[in-house]
Amino acid sequence: MTTLVTGATGHLGRLVIAGLLERGAEPSSIVAGVRDLARAADLSALGVRTAVVDYDRPETVAAALEDVDTVLLISGSEVGRRVDQHRAVIDAAVAAGVSKFVYTSAPQAPTSALILAPEHKATEELIAASGLPAVILRNNWYTENYAGDLAQARETGTIAASVGDGRVASASRRDFADAAAVVLLEDGHVGQAYELGGDVAWTFDDLAAALTEVVGRPVEYRALSTEEHAAALEAAGLDAGTVGFVTALDAGIRDGALAHTDGTLARLIGRPTTPLVEGLRTVA
């Protein structure tokens, strides 16, 4: 079996490749799909094959899929362009006749009101329409997403958001990467859409308590209204588009978009997910 991992030099991609190797995959059975081969020199040194995969250049995707039977499509980072970019990989995978196609989606993407969900929903629909034997991994938030809050907490002793009492079932990237590695290597899983989240759905008061432990000073969560949050972001110099995006994300969290957790991630990886404090310590 040969596996193509797209976005292989990104944070998640590198961890997936590490997870595959730890689970016994031969380095030569892994193709690291990257935009810049120079950034993958360390992967080449491990014996992992590398190939140019540029979502905006479909010919590179087709070439990288030669003799590949399993694909992990790590969703692109360019919000607003991802559906077309993902389509290029899906179409190439259909043409190559891959036997397993895995996609990293968003929590409850088909029904979620989260601002990031529509592109993931559209991608899932493209995968379904393609007829590919697919597995959907609907990843909740990465604990690493809160690196900015950690820095703010260390500097000011406060974090501020307009999430209200909303909960986030985050886990460390390594947890999600291990789940992807399991799904890629194990037989089965095709046809499943897994909702993946940490074992605990925490509030921002819980986040403040965890940050207190990590940074070594008291940290307080300031709960803002959407209007107060927007004003604070504008005062910090953010443009209107970014302000709207951030406050919409917080509104989604407030309304429960990231609160779901049912133990699926822990069952897949065979261990508890990384606790919030431990994940934040790794970020620190």
| pLDDT tens-digit series, residues 126-169 | 999 999 999 999 999 999 999 999 999 999 999 999 999 999 99
Paired sense of beta strands 220-223 and 158-161, if any: parallel
3-state secondary structure of 181: helix
- Compute the distance between CA of residue 227 and CA of residue 162 in angstroms, rounded to an integer: 9
Flag whether 246 is in a domain.
yes
Flag whether 164 is in a domain.
yes
Token pair for 207 = 């986040």
- For residues 58 and 46, state if they share a domain: yes
Q: What is the pLDDT of residue 144?
A: 97
Residue 163 is part of which domain span? 141-170+198-259+274-284
Token pair for 111 = 């029904």
Flag whether 72 is in a domain.
yes
pTM of the entire predicted model: 0.96
pLDDT at 79 over 90: no
Residue in the structure block whose two tokens are 């360019």: 78
- For residues 153 and 88, state if they share a domain: no
- For residues 161 and 63, state if they share a domain: no
Flag whether 191 is in a domain.
no
- For residues 125 and 9, state if they share a domain: yes
- For residues 159 and 80, state if they share a domain: no
Q: Of 118, 139, 160, which residue constitutes the final position of a domain?
A: 139
Mean pLDDT for the chain overall: 96
pLDDT digits (tens, 9 = 90+) for 237-263: 999 999 999 999 999 999 999 999 999
- Compute the distance between CA of residue 15 and CA of residue 17 in angstroms, rounded to an integer: 5
First to last CA, the chain: 37
- For residues 79 and 161, state if they share a domain: no
The residue-averaged pLDDT of 16-38 equals 97
pLDDT at 77 over 90: no
Per-residue DSSP letter, 272: P
- For residues 152 and 119, state if they share a domain: no
- For residues 154 and 56, state if they share a domain: no
**What CATH number should be reported for the domain holding residue 220?**
3.90.25.10
Q: What is the pLDDT of residue 244?
A: 96
Confidence of residue 1 (pLDDT cuts 50, 70, 90): confident
| DSSP assignment string, 12-41 | HHHHHHHHHHHTT--GGGEEEEES-GGGGH
Task: Quote the strand ranges of 156-214, DSSP E.
Answer: 158-161, 193-196
DSSP-assigned beta bridge partners for residue 31: 4, 49
Q: How far is CA 86 from CA 49, 74, 163, 188, in A?
A: 22, 9, 30, 23
Residue 34 half-sphere exposure toward CB, CA atoms < 13 A: 24
Flag whether 188 is in a domain.
no
Flag whether 180 is in a domain.
no
3-state secondary structure of 71: strand
- The strand order across the sheet containing 134-139 reads 49-52, 30-34, 3-5, 70-73, 100-105, 134-139, 193-196
**What CATH number should be reported for the domain holding residue 130?**
3.40.50.720
Per-residue DSSP letter, 273: P
Count of domains for the chain: 2
Q: What is the pLDDT of residue 207?
A: 98
CA 26 to chain centroid? 25
**Residues written for the chain:** 284
Token pair for 138 = 């609907």
Flag whether 268 is in a domain.
no
- For residues 206 and 133, state if they share a domain: no
3-state secondary structure of 104: strand
Of 101, 272, 71, nearest to 175 by C-alpha is 272
The residue-averaged pLDDT of 28-35 equals 96
The answer to whether 283 touches 146, Cβ cutoff 8 Å, is yes
Of 97, 120, 146, nearest to 284 by C-alpha is 146
pLDDT digits (tens, 9 = 90+) for 166-209: 999 999 999 999 999 999 999 989 999 999 999 999 999 999 99
Q: Of 119, 139, 159, which residue constitutes the final position of a domain?
A: 139
Q: How far is CA 41 from CA 14, 94, 124, 171, in A?
A: 12, 29, 32, 29
Flag whether 80 is in a domain.
yes
